[in-house]
A and B are shown apart, each in its own frame.
Chain A
Amino acid sequence: MAKLTEFESKKIIKQAGIAVPRGELVSTPRQAEEVTMRIGLPVVLKIQSLYTGRFEKDLIKIVSSVEDLKRTLDYMFDVHCSEIKLQKLLVEEKYIYQNEYYLSVISDDISLSPLILFSENGGIDIEKNSENIVGRPLNILNGVTGEDISFLTNGASVNSDLGDVIKKLYDVYRKMDCCQLEINPLVFSEEKFVALDAKIIIDGDALYRHKELGVQLTEENLNREPTSLEISAAKIDENDHRGTVHIAELDQPLQKKGTRIAINCVGTGVGLSIMDELIEQGYMPANFGDTSGNPTASKLYRAIRLIFSQKDIKGFVFASCVSSQQLDNTARGVIKALKDIYPETGGKPGIPCVFMFRGAWDKDAMLLFKEHGISDSENVIMLGRDSNEYNVACEFDKLYKTRKSVPNNVKNVRV
Chain B
Amino acid sequence: MLRMLEFNILSGGNVSIDLTKCKSCSTKACIRNCKSSKTRPVLVLKDGVPDLDFGFDELEKGACTECLACELDCQLYGNKAVIIELTVS
Contacts and interface: CB of A to CB of B under 8 A. Distances in A.
Interface residues of A, number: 24
Given A239-B12, A372-B76, A298 B69 contact: no
A332 B67 contact: yes
Contacts of B12: 239-240
Contacts of B69: 297, 332
Nearest to B62: A242
A335 interface: yes
B88 A298 contact: no
B13 A298 contact: yes
28 contacts: A231-B89, A232-B89, A235-B89, A236-B11, A236-B89, A239-B10, A239-B11, A240-B10, A240-B11, A240-B12, A242-B65, A296-B11, A296-B67, A297-B66, A297-B67, A298-B9, A298-B11, A299-B11, A299-B66, A302-B86, A306-B88, A329-B68, A332-B69, A335-B72, A336-B71, A336-B72, A336-B84, A371-B76
Interface string B3-39: 0000001111100000000000000000000000000
A231 B65 CA distance: 24
Contacts of A232: 88-89
B40 to A, nearest CB: 18
A400 to B, nearest CB: 27
How big is the B interface, by class? 10 to 19
| Binding site secondary structure of chain A | helix
The 5 closest A-B CB pairs, nearest first, are: A298-B66, A296-B66, A232-B89, A297-B68, A240-B11
A232 B11 CA distance: 14
Nearest to B11: A240
A335 B67 CA distance: 12
Nearest to B69: A332
Given A240-B10, A296-B65, 17 more contacts: A232-B88, A236-B11, A236-B89, A239-B10, A239-B12, A240-B12, A297-B66, A297-B67, A297-B68, A297-B69, A298-B9, A301-B68, A302-B86, A329-B68, A332-B69, A336-B71, A336-B72
